[in-house]
Structure 1
C-alpha cells in the first residue's frame, strides 16, 4: 500500500510540474508537424500531455524531407501554421540554417535504427550478420525502402557497402508517401526496409529485426520551434515533455532509443 501511495504522489508532482512548465495562464492550441519515425511515440504521449497541461495538439503529418507536398519543409514554405516541428535531426538543422527554425529551440529526442519487415507468416531471413543481410537482399524477389532518411541511406550507401548495388537495381525501389511495411503486408514487396518505429505499428507484417550495427544508420529525431510560432511558450512546454523522463517509456516502446 505504501508503494502505491508513493507512486501516486510522484505522479501528482509530475503532473503539477508539467502544468508549471507550460508557462501560460490559458490553454493553447499547439500546431505540430510530425514526421513518420516519431509517430507511434507521439500518439502515445499526446493524450498524457494534453491531460496534464490543458493544451491541445493539432497535428499535420509528413516526411522530414523530399518532394512530397506533405513534407515538413514544403509545408513551412507554403506558410502552414506550426508551433513545433518533429523531424530528422539533420533536416531540422537545415531549417535552422535557413532561418526557419529557432536555433536555441532544438532538442534531440531519440535515435532510430533501420529494420526489416516481411509479410506475416513468411520465412524470416537471417540478417544478424552483414553476410546474412547481403544474402537476404540477393535472394529477395523485390525490395522496398522509404523516401525519408533511412531510404536515402539504403539507396546511396548501404547497397554500395555490401557491393551489390548493380544486382539490386532492377528489384529495389524507393517508396514515396506510403509506409513501406503496408506494401509488404499487401504482398507487393518481399522485403521492406524502414525505421523500426515505422514498421512495428503495421499489421500484416513480421518484424525480422534491425540490420547489423556494422552497416546500420542511426537517425536522430529532434524537435524545434519555427520562427513566427504563435505559441512559443506552449511549444517549449511540449518539447520539454517529449524529452522528459515521463515520456521515455512511450518512446522506447515505439522502437526508438530515447536520448
Structure 2
C-alpha cells in the first residue's frame, strides 16, 4: 500500500526542485511525488514534497506564507536579478548610508506591487518567461500585488563599491526575493541582486522539520496526512453522519473557520477532506477517504 504524506526536505544548492522530486520518487518507490512552491537551483532550505495522496494538498500549501534568509549585494545588477546571471550594470554603493538602506527596505515592506524577474516561470502568451528571455526576447511582465509581512536587515558588510546586506523576509506566496533585491538596489541608485537565499519556512513547516536528502535516504520520514493537515489548516471534527456526507463529496454547513482550506476529521480522528467555506456552506476541495 502506498505511503501518503509530506516530506520536508532541506534542498541542497545547485539542485532544481524537479531534481529533488526525482530523487524522492526513487526513495519513496512511487511516481506520485510533487512539490509545493519551486525553489531556484541557487536556493537552499525548506521544500515541501507530497507523496501519494498528499500531492493533492500541495496546491493549497503553496499559497501559505513563506520565510527566507537572504543576502543582497548592492552595487551590481544582473540579468536574472541573482548571482546565477551575468552582471549587466555596476554603480558604486559606497555612498549609501545605513539610514537610506533601512528607508529603502521599509518602502518594500507591506502590500506592494512587484514586477516578477524577467527570468521566471510566469507564462506570457502560453510560454514561460525564462524561455523567452533565453531566446533574447524582451519580456513584458506586469506588476502583481504581493505582501511582504517582514523585511529585516540582520547584517551589513561594506567592501569598497559593494555592500552585502543580510536580511530575513516573511512574505506571501508569489513574492520574488530576487525582485526585492533588484528593487532595493534600483531605489538606492546603485543596482542590486541576490547572492544567497535560504527558505526557512513554508506555512507551519520550518527548517527544524527539514531533512537533507542523505538523511532521508537513511530514514525516510513521511509526515502522515492527518498531522500535515492539522498543522497547516484549521481543524474541524465532525459526527459520523457528517463524515459519511463528506466522504461522498457532500457539503456541510459552514462553521466560521475562515476563508482558506479547513481540514475535516471523522469521529475516529481520520482525515476525511479539505473543505472551503463559501457563504453558509463548506464545499469539498479534496476528499481523501476511499
TM-score (norm 2): 0.27
TM-score (norm 1): 0.29
Bigger radius of gyration = 2
Structure with greater contact order relative to length (CA < 8 Å, sep ≥ 6) = 1
